[in-house]
Amino acid sequence: MCRLICVLGCLPFVAASAQSPPQPPTLKTTTAAVLIDVTVLDRGGQTVADLGPADFELTEDGARQQILSVSFVNNGVPVPPASSAPPAEGLPAPAAGGSVASIEARPPVTDAGEPLSVTAILFDRLSPEGRRAAGPAAQAYVAGLLPGRDYAGVFFADLALRTFQPFTNDRERLRVAVDRLSQAVPANTTADAERLRGRHAPALDPNQPPTAGAESGTGFVSVGEREKYLDSLSRSERLLAEMELRMEQGHRQVLAEYGGEASLAGLRAVVDALGSLPGRKSIVYFVESLSITSRLKPRFDALIGTANRHNITIYAIDTAGLRVHSREMELGRNVGVAAAQGIGDSRRDDGPWTKELERQEQLLSSRPAAALGRLAKETGGFLLEDTNDLTARMERIQRERTSYYVLAYQPTKAALDGTFRKVSVKVKRPRVTVKARTGYLAVPPQQG
C-alpha cells in the first residue's frame, strides 16, 4: 500500500569563471511522493467512508508529515479526491522541488475505462482436510468479485508453480478452476505427514502430540515422563532410542527446509509477476503452515519487502482451522525440554548447543501466528486463523480490498538512500481500526 513516485530535477551547468574547466551537468532526485493505502473500519467491521485530510495524522520515522491529498476508493471505484489540506501549524514543509500534480490516486483501468484490481488465489500444499476447507472459501471469494473490474487467477504452489486458471474476470472459469484445484493431490512433503513413527521417538520427541496415533501408542507427555522412559531402558536400548530420535528430528528438519523453500518460491513468483502491474494487487493465500528456518529467514524478509514495494497485500488463510494439537502446545513442550536440558534435569546429545537454539528459533518463527501473521500484517492484510468457518470471512477480505483511502504526502526526508522508513497512520476519530503498511524502502521505483 506504499508507492513512490519520483520527480527528477536537472541542475544546469554554471561556470565559476572563464578560466575554470567546464563541469558536467548533475542529475539529482529532489523529491519522492509517497502514496499510502489505508483501510479504516468501525467497531462493526464496516468501512468508514466520510473522512477527509484533517482526520488523518501521518508520521514517517516518528516525524509528522504534511498530507497533500486524500481520496477514497469505494467498491473499486475512485471517488473524486478530497481537497488538499493546508499545512498544519508546526509541521515541517515538504522537500523543495516537488510536484504535487504528479501525485495521483488512480488505479489502472480496463479497456472499458473501469478501475481494475487483480487477485492471485494461491493454494499451498494442503492436507485433504485443508483442501475441503479451502475450496468453499475460495468459491465464496470468487462469487464476491466485482463484475468487469476484478480480475483473478488460480494457482497452486507445489514443487512447481502450477496455473489452474490465468487471470480473468470470468467468474465461471474461476469457479471451475477452484473445483479442479481442490481435488488436486499435492506432493507429500510436510513433516507431520512424514513422521518416521519409530518405536521410541514418540515418547521422546516433544514435537509428538500426547495423543498419538494407535500405530505408535501414546506420544510425548512431559519432561519427567521422558526421563522416566529413558531410565526404563537398558544402556543399549537407550543408545538406539537416542539414535532413532536424531533420525526423526533430522528428517523433520530436511522436510521443513524443503517445504519452506517450495512455499517461498511459489509466493515470490506470484509477487514478482504482480509487481509489473500498477495499482493495488492482492494475494489470497490458502496455507496450513509456513516453515521459516534460519536459512530461509532473509528470503522471507526480502519477500515482504518486495510485496510492499509493489503495493501487494497478502491475506493469509490458515486452512487447518481449530487444531486438535495446538502449535503453541508443541512449542511449549519443546521449550520445556530445552529448559530442563539447560539446567541439567534432562539428558541431551553431546552435540553443540547452537543446534538446539536453531531448532527452537525455527519453532518460534514457523508458528502460524508468527510466520503467516507477519506475512499478512506487514503487507497490509490480515491472518484468518482458528476457525472452521472460512467461507463466512471471505466477505471481509473483499470489503477491505476494494474500499480504502489513498493518502499522498511528500516526505520531509527526500533522499532515496535505500533505508527503511517506518510509517504510522492514525485517525482522529474514536473507536475505529486503522490498517496500513508499516513502512517502505526508500528506493527509486525502477529498483523495486
pLDDT digits (tens, 9 = 90+) for 47-103: 898 998 899 999 999 999 999 889 898 877 777 644 444 444 555 555 544 333 333
- Smallest CA-to-CA distance from 296 within 376, 241, 221, 375 is with 375
Max mean pLDDT among 76-90, 178-192, 393-407 falls in 393-407
Measure Cα distances from 306 to 91, 196, 389, 430, 448 in Å. 31, 38, 31, 33, 7
154: left (phi over 0), alpha (psi -120 to 50) or beta: beta
pLDDT of residue 273: 92
Distance CA 152, CA 169 (A): 6
* pLDDT over 90, % of the chain: 24
Specify the pLDDT at position 28.
36
Phi, psi of 283 (to 5 degrees): -125, 125
Measured distance CA(309)–CA(299) in Å, rounded:
15
CB-based contact 210:218 (threshold 8 Å): yes
Q: What is the pLDDT of residue 142?
A: 95
Residue 252 near residue 191 (C-beta atoms within 8 A):
yes
The least confident of 52-56, 246-250, 265-269 is 246-250
Can you give the pLDDT at residue 215?
39
Mean pLDDT on 32-50: 85
What pLDDT, in 10s, does the model give residues 195-205?
445 555 555 55
Say which residue, 248 or 103, is predicted with more confidence.
248
Q: Of residues 240 and 427, which shows the higher confidence score?
A: 427
Answer for the pair 200, 218: CB distance below 8 angstroms, yes or no: no
Distance, in Å, from the CA atom of 347 to the CA atom of 230, rounded to the nearest integer, reads 9
The x, y and z cell numbers of residue 184, run together, are 488436486
Amino acid at 319: T
Instruction: Determine whether 408 is exposed, middle or buried from the number of CB atoms within 10 Å of its CB (0-12, 13-18, 19+).
Output: buried
Least confident range of 316-330, 386-400, 402-416? 316-330
pTM: 0.69
Which residues on neighbouring strands pair with residue 441, listed in sequence order?
420
